[in-house]
């Protein structure tokens, strides 16, 4: 099956769904993650919506939400 590039907006939505899904399943709030990042809940919400994290911030989010190495790698793929 040929590989096609995913639309960047689509990739962002997938990552948003993964982040929010992990938060819901684990009972973790935006405020809890925001504290780990040193920002407000509102700022975190904007970062998730725009998917505008620094690499360090993304590392913290992944660690706090318990993303596996496989999930992290899959989230970084540019093709599907």
Cα 1 to Cα 54: distance, rounded to the nearest angstrom: 34
The structure's pTM equals: 0.78
**Does residue 3 have a pLDDT over 70?**
no
DSSP lists the bridge partners of residue 3 as: none
Q: Considering the chain, what percentage of its residues have pLDDT values greater than 90?
A: 61
CATH 1.10.260 holds for 8-73: yes
Give the whole-angstrom CA distance, residue 13 versus residue 10.
5
Q: Above 50 in pLDDT, residue 71?
A: yes
Contacts of 56 (CB under 8 A, 6+ apart): none
Q: Which residue has the higher pLDDT, 62 or 8?
A: 62
Nearest CA among 32, 10, 14 for reference residue 23: 32
Q: How confident is the model at residue 80 (pLDDT cuts 50, 70, 90)?
A: very low
């Amino acid at each position: 099956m040929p590989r096609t590039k995913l639309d960047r907006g689509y990739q962002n939505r997938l990552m948003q769904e993964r982040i929010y899904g992990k938060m819901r399943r684990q009972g973790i709030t935006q405020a809890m993650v925001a504290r780990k990042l040193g920002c407000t809940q509102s700022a975190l919400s904007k970062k998730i919506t725009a998917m505008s994290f620094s690499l360090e911030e993304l590392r913290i989010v992944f660690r706090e939400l318990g993303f596996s190495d496989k999930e992290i790698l899959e989230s970084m793929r540019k093709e599907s």
